[in-house]
A and B are shown apart, each in its own frame.
Chain A
Amino acid sequence: MSKKTANKAAVAKEILHEMYRSICRTRSFELKCVELYRQGHISGYLHPYLGEEAIAAGVCAAIGRDSYITSTHRGHGHCISKGAILKYMMAEITGKATGYCKGLGGSMHISCRDDNNLGANGIVGAGIPIAVGAAMGLRVKGINQVAAAFFSDGASNNGTFGESLNFAAAFSLPVLFILENNHYAVSTPVEYSSGCCEFAKLGPAYGMVGVCVDGNDAEAIYVESRRAVERAQNNEGPTLIEAKTYRHGGHHVNDPGLYMDKELLAKWKEHDPQVILKKKISAATAKKIEAEVAEEIEEAVEFAMNSPEPSVEEFLAEIDN
């Protein structure tokens, strides 16, 4: 495992601002979703990305708009950081016809093709081979871009993880494997279910660079992701990035997370991704971004609440029986 110290001085101010905006948008969006869920506006499951916002913010800033991502059931942050418009996300999560997926996908399945976001996924581990294939497709098309797969420590226990790392390494494919180690697979602690808990070590085992970063430090994630992008674009193959983080609550909105260590949770909450990045930008800029985001959230909720539900008649008419 190569542990590199992030060269933080190299990160431009604009990038820090972009990442701070992503973190604020995600944080506010998730808090609003929890509120709407409690009010009965959202059905099904809702898996907040609270506490993990810096990972998506850093990776998406590093890979850029033209690169592709695959996401997870805890995918709002990936979607937002890749550039999604909040009102269409909110409309989707509230099941409206104006949502990204016309109300057919919901919280766990938002795709946003305008941003090259191939979609969140209700099946743990399923997005990993899809990202590998996206990288393959880019190579067939002669486009020198990357595909990033976001997935969790839980997904690393799945066969698709090992298969995909091997596949991408064998063909030197331009993939960033972003392992979000939030320490729990639903409620199962990572130490219980994994033989090797230092996931970055699995990179070299499969023939690629593996790095471990503080998943709550957007700047560090950005720097490592940029290095991974450069390697990928120089035909030096994929990278496994383990980003250590911690959920701010249970697995989903109805899981109080009683199995989580209280002291550890408090420690991680203090090590907050938003607070960490806020210290690196000017107070005035932070304030301006926060105000803009607050307005965006308000608009998103209003748009979602005023949007129509999909038509049952139209839906049934399209089914071929």
Chain B
Amino acid sequence: MAEIMYREGLNRALLEEMRRDELVFIMGEGIAARGGSYKVTEGLLAEFGPGRVVDTPLAEATFTGAAVGAALVGTRPVVELLFVDFAPMTMDMVVNQAAKYSFMSGGQGTVPMVLRTQGGAGNGLAGQHSQSLEALFYHIPGLKVVMPSSPYDACGLMKSAIRDEGPVIFIEHKLLYMTKGEVPDEEFVVPLGKADVKRKGEDITLITYSYMTLKCLEAAELLAGEGVSVEVVDLRTLTPLDKETILQSIVKTGRGIVVHEAVKRGGVGGDIASMIMEEAYDDLDGPVARICGKNTTIPYNKNLEKVCVPTVEEIVEGILEMV
């Protein structure tokens, strides 16, 4: 076991997969010599050279489309999109091309590509560099959406994403890159579509993912002192969604809150809450609640930015209202 940072977990996954399979290559803006804005691709150019670690022109639609083409001819591209906020420029390639090829070709081929990107508020970057846009991808049949919260999950899920027949949208969080956690020294993978119960509890279930997992765990720890036992389910992948783990937890606790940073309106929380109420209504002691980002553009001012995404206090209050 070693304690490493989230970004190091991602780096290790890319390194191991590129060593394992020479058809894996990566491309993006400033990922080669610079090693990426968050150092996730550091050192890869030196080992694999410019043919497999490619700095692209600033042309998001085209390098995402190029990944589709490269995947169709049998390579396994991992594309880095600097911010998820830039995804709107790639949307035709993601929604109409990558997501649909396998279906519309009658299964003649797959698109084994990973689109790596990062989102989230908290760095004072304002409205065009702080969003949580996973719902856009979650809505599209044909895409897998991965949002890990720990170095272990980041590493293991990235490896699975690269090996998957894809396409996989892999969304990291800018506040997680420097967070630390333990990972085994030997090689491991984390399968897509499996949630992880990050904390066991009896009274209420928090269903969450990405950076909000850390806040939910903090809230659970605070409440443990007050005799409230909180279970925290980290989804890890939004599609495929691990309904089984969610429902098992709900059956046990009878209460649920979906917590995510993305704005509440049209967010995945509404969908998950509805799913629980459709499939486990009789096991519920009350309606499933949502604690989500406010329905606003993320402001630049630090104090304003803070109130737009769920805080530990809000989560604690939300739980206390229900138990």
Contacts and interface: CB of A to CB of B under 8 A. Distances in A.
A294 to B, nearest CB: 28
A133 B64 CA distance: 9
Interface stretch (A118-126, A210-218, A222-230): A118-126
A126 B65 contact: yes
Interface residues of A, number: 43
Contacts of A246: none
A122 B65 contact: no
A134 B109 contact: no
Contact of A140 (B23, B56, B64, B104): B23
Contact of B73 (A68, A119, A122, A170): A68
Interface in A270-286: none
B184 interface: no
B81 to A, nearest CB: 14
Interface string B67-109: 1111111110100000000000000110011000101111111
Interface in B7-62: 23, 25, 51-52, 54, 56-57, 59, 61-62
B152 interface: no
B63 interface: yes
Interface residues of B, number: 37
A147 interface: yes
A113 interface: yes
Contact of A123 (B77, B97, B103, B240): B97
B143 to A, nearest CB: 13
B175 interface: no
Contacts of A160: 61-62, 65
B65 A132 contact: yes
A38 to B, nearest CB: 26
B71 A137 contact: yes
A141 interface: yes
Query: Of residues B52, B54, B103, B106, which shows the largest number of chain A Cβ atoms within 10 Å of its Cβ?
Result: B106
Query: Of residues B63, B69, B103, which shows the largest number of chain A Cβ atoms within 10 Å of its Cβ?
Result: B69
Contact of A101 (B51, B59, B69, B108): B108
A130 B96 contact: no
A313 to B, nearest CB: 18
Task: Please give me the 8 A-B residue pairs with the lowest Cβ-Cβ distance, nearest first.
Answer: A133-B69, A129-B65, A133-B66, A137-B70, A102-B106, A101-B106, A163-B62, A163-B59
Given A105-B104, A105-B106, A137-B72, 7 more contacts: A109-B104, A126-B92, A133-B70, A133-B77, A137-B74, A141-B74, A160-B65
19 contacts: A99-B106, A101-B108, A109-B104, A111-B101, A123-B97, A126-B93, A129-B62, A129-B66, A129-B68, A129-B69, A130-B69, A136-B70, A136-B75, A137-B74, A137-B75, A138-B73, A141-B73, A160-B65, A163-B57
Interface of A: 68, 70, 99-105, 109, 111-113, 118-119, 121-123, 126, 128-141, 147, 159-160, 163-164, 166-167, 170-171, 320
